[in-house]
Structure 1
Amino acid sequence: MIIIGAVFTILAALLHVFIFYMESFAWTGEKARGVFGTTQIDAENTKEMAYNQGFYNFFLAVVSGVGVAFLFAGSTGIGAALTFAGTGSMLAAAAVLALSSPDKRGAAVKQGAFPLLAVVFLVIGLLV
């Protein structure tokens, strides 16, 4: 189960790296505006905020990825702690998005599905 949790952690990290790219580097482009539902003016006015927010997503991906590396290296305690810190934060951010922006619940589900599965499988794997 730990391996399945690690796979979902990697998928969550990859998704957050993609979100990092979209927010930090492609924010004002047509594709990113379509994904996030912003206008050109809104994107221009919020590009500094999105740039910063994108790096939050990147750092969560890095923490999660380092956690998986420790899991695979046999350091289960360190790996689990880092993996739970990264995926737990991703999951919490998805919950905040769902609760604060009902119109973005679909995005919250997409953002939170991999981290949720990672947490569930890692907990099961560590308890069994």
Structure 2
Amino acid sequence: MSTAGNVAVGLIAAIHVYILVLEMFLWTTARGRRAFGTEPEFARSTATLAANQGLYNGFLAAGLVWSLLADGTTAFQAKVFFLACVLVAGLYGAATASRRILLVQAVPAAIGLALVLAAH
């Protein structure tokens, strides 16, 4: 697997760990509200939903990390699967929640997926 592809996968995993932290632990803080453009009352009333979203982002990060630790065909298949999941989630989020998600999630996933596929 290419070094560039692995670096991209690692960076995308790190982004999703950061999203997990924002959604699960910082959602109601000034930093979390600033990141997602929410008001204090909205953040308080949606904290449980945000934590659930954060958990899912953590699963994406875990899958990407696993793909970096796996060998051979399993590593390739896991990278493709989890990058595709991130890409679909990013496209859906951009279409339904915020176009910014396209740049934060979908574009990096598309680049990472292209790098992984090109190296195969």
TM range (shorter): over 0.9
Count of aligned residue pairs for this structure pair: 120
CA contact (8 A) 1:24 1:55 kept: yes
Find the counterpart in structure 2 of residue 62 from structure 1: 62
Find the counterpart in structure 2 of residue 95 from structure 1: 91
Percent identical residues = 27
Query: What TM-score do the two structures reach when normalised by structure 2?
Result: 0.94
Query: What TM-score do the two structures reach when normalised by structure 1?
Result: 0.88
CA contact (8 A) 1:24 1:52 kept: yes
Alignment partner of 1:25 is 2:25: yes
SS in 2 for 1:27: coil
The code of the aligned residue for 2:38 comes to T
Q: State the distance in 2 between where 1:41 and 1:8 align.
A: 36
Find the counterpart in structure 1 of residue 40 from structure 2: 40
SS in 2 for 1:28: coil
Find the counterpart in structure 2 of residue 77 from structure 1: 73
Alignment partner of 1:108 is 2:102: yes
Q: State the distance in 2 between where 1:123 and 1:33 align.
A: 36
Q: State the distance in 1 between where 2:100 and 2:51 align.
A: 22
The code of the aligned residue for 1:79 comes to A
CA contact (8 A) 1:64 1:85 kept: no
Find the counterpart in structure 1 of residue 10 from structure 2: 10
Alignment partner of 1:121 is 2:96: no
Pairwise CA distance, 1:113: 2.5
Please list every run of 5 or more consecutive structure 1 residues that lacks an aligned counterpart in the other structure.
none
Q: CA RMSD in A?
A: 1.2
Please list every run of 5 or more consecutive structure 2 residues that lacks an aligned counterpart in the other structure.
none
